[in-house]
């Protein structure tokens, strides 16, 4: 139950596994949402930082692991179903 007495959803599906989607999923857990979270995105990589992509990535100074918002293991540890490439 929420503070106003209404029922909370048992499942949240976030379409778009970019910076905003990844942050939304993490914040749901951080603030106590205990239901199912599905984070789905078209790209095959977990959520990553876009601005450095245009600089460090293109210069060959950073790999994908350096650009990830959180390690890929974070999503499993937080019980967030990460669906990439969909």
| Residues with Cβ within 8 Å of residue 16, at least 6 apart in sequence | 40, 41
Domains of the chain (ranges plus CATH)? 1-48+69-86 (3.50.50.60)
pLDDT at 51: 67
The DSSP line for 47-75 is PB-HHHIIIIIHHT---HHHHBSS-HHHH
Instruction: Summarize pLDDT for 2-46 with one digit per residue, the tens.
Output: 667 677 789 999 999 999 999 999 999 999 999 999 999 999 989
Confidence of residue 52 (pLDDT cuts 50, 70, 90): low
Stronger pLDDT, 62 or 76, i.e. the higher one: 76
11-15 and 36-41 beta bridge pairing: parallel
Distance of alpha carbon 35 from alpha carbon 67, whole angstroms: 28
CA distances to 35, 68, 84 from 49, in Å: 26, 6, 16
pTM of the model: 0.80
pLDDT at 68: 87
Distance of alpha carbon 72 from alpha carbon 76, whole angstroms: 8
């Amino acid at each position: 139950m929420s503070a106003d007495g209404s029922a909370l959803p048992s499942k949240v599906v976030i379409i778009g596994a970019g910076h905003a989607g990844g942050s939304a999923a993490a914040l749901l857990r951080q603030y106590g949402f205990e239901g199912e979270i599905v984070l789905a995105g078209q790209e095959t990589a977990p959520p990553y930082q876009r601005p450095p992509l245009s600089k460090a990535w293109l210069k060959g100074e950073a790999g994908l692991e350096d650009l990830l918002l959180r390690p890929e293991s974070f999503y499993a540890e937080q019980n967030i179903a990460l669906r990439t490439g969909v």
